[in-house]
């Protein structure tokens, strides 16, 4: 079957056999069952902003939107309420080998760059940048896969999961940086925000969350456990925008707040050079579990868990301005380097340049010796 070159054509049916329809048009190729059958499979290749807006708006179960290389400037939020299914996902991705940037600099004030309110979406290999407000937002998503994305220099949080029914989403290999909300003087823009909602089975892995005006990661008022692993947060909460009324916080991993009592799981992460704490409960009283994390050279404490029932094990805190981690009476602390009899292993490197370099070809974190110790029992493995 000849592939579309992305031009708009009037859709025409090429063949019908055994209940199967094949058509070409609207910048793509259509192959699927007729309405009395299962969900259709549609591939749409887009090369203009108008085609991109139309493809996202009109997506349905089984749609794959391939975006050719270039920078796209939507005039309005890329929005969809379409649902895929477990066997017929909706996919929005860069074409093979293409570098795609979706830029919000022409959006009206206060607009999100992308707002997906649907299930079983795969969004991958795209940069979302320069929105006047939120960068990429998935609301009440079930089964979403958000992979190898960049959310940069947006006017609020770079990447957000929110809403009740936010269930079984995977955020993998996200770089989210430089996000800053001028209207709030920096107090709201996080690298990734999982906020104002609920839902089980959500996981974040392989993220780098850095140089954002507020926190690297924020779980404010999200009432279900989230798993975070193999992710790094650094350089957050610093006034890089010369805002004389700057109010950014600057925690690496902020694990709650707003009355939530949630048992998040936080394993094998690292936080360094943040303007407040490396890891903090933020008044979350839930029985969180933090294992083999490293906090280095943060302005506050490495680990601040003063009020909740968190269990901290085999974590490493070194060189933070407040040298003692703040733990409350109900916090369980076992095998951390601040516990009696636990030695602090030496870092192989405190030069972060390799950790801040290019990701590997598959999108995973770069190889680094930064903050590694060679220990098999304590601290982040930095991979």
Within 13 Å of residue 237, how many CA atoms lie on the same side as its CB?
23
Q: Give how far the C-alpha of residue 103 lies from the chain's centroid of Cα atoms, to the nearest Å.
A: 17
Rounded Cα distance between 200 and 213, Å, is 28
Catalytic choice (254, 309, 326, 348):
254
| DSSP reduced 3-state for 315 | coil
Picking from 296, 300, 260, 299, the residue whose alpha carbon sits closest to that of residue 281 is: 260
Q: Which residues pair with 233 in a beta bridge?
A: 209, 271
In angstroms, what CA-CA distances link 134 with 73, 115, 179, 215, 227? 15, 9, 9, 15, 23
Rounded Cα distance, 141 and 179, in Å: 23
309 included as an active-site residue: no
Cβ–Cβ < 8 Å for 31, 53:
no
Q: Rounded CA gap, 258 and 219, in Å?
A: 9
Is residue 32 within 8 A of residue 41, CB to CB? The reply is: yes
Among all residues, which ones are annotated catalytic? 254
């Amino acid at each position: 079957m000849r592939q579309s070159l992305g031009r708009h054509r009037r859709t025409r049916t090429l063949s019908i056999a055994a209940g199967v329809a094949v058509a070409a048009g609207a910048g793509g190729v259509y192959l699927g069952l007729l309405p009395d059958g299962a969900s259709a499979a549609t591939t749409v290749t887009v090369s203009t902003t108008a085609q991109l807006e139309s493809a996202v708006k009109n997506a349905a179960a089984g749609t794959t939107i391939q975006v050719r290389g270039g920078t796209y400037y939507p005039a309005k939020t890329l929005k969809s309420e379409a649902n895929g299914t477990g066997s017929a996902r909706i996919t929005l991705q860069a074409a093979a080998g293409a570098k795609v940037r979706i830029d919000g600099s022409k959006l009206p004030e206060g607009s999100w760059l992308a707002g997906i309110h649907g299930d079983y979406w795969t969004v991958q290999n795209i940069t979302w940048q320069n929105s006047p407000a939120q960068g990429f937002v998935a609301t009440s998503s079930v089964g979403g896969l958000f992979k190898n994305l960049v959310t940069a220099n947006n006017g609020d949080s770079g990447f957000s999961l929110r809403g009740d029914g936010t269930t079984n989403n995977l955020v993998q290999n996200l770089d989210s940086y430089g996000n800053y909300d001028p209207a709030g003087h920096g107090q709201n823009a996080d690298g990734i925000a999982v906020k104002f909602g609920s839902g089980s089975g959500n996981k974040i892995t392989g993220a780098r969350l850095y140089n954002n005006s507020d926190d690297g990661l924020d779980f404010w008022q999200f009432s279900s456990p989230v798993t975070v692993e193999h992710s790094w947060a650094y350089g957050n909460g610093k006034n890089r925008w010369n805002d004389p009324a700057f109010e950014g916080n600057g925690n690496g991993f902020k694990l709650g707040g707003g009355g939530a009592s949630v048992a998040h799981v936080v394993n094998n992460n690292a936080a360094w050079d943040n303007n407040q704490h490396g890891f903090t409960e933020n008044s979350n009283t839930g029985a969180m579990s933090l294992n083999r994390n490293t906090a280095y050279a943060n302005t506050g404490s490495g680990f601040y868990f003063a009020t909740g029932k968190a269990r901290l094990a085999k974590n490493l805190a070194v060189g933070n301005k407040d040298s003692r981690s703040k733990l409350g009476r109900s916090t369980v602390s076992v095998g951390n380097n601040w516990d009696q009899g636990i030695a602090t292993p030496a870092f192989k490197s405190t030069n972060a340049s390799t950790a801040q370099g290019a990701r590997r070809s598959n999108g995973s974190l770069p190889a680094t010796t930064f903050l590694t110790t060679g220990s098999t029992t304590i601290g982040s493995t930095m991979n």
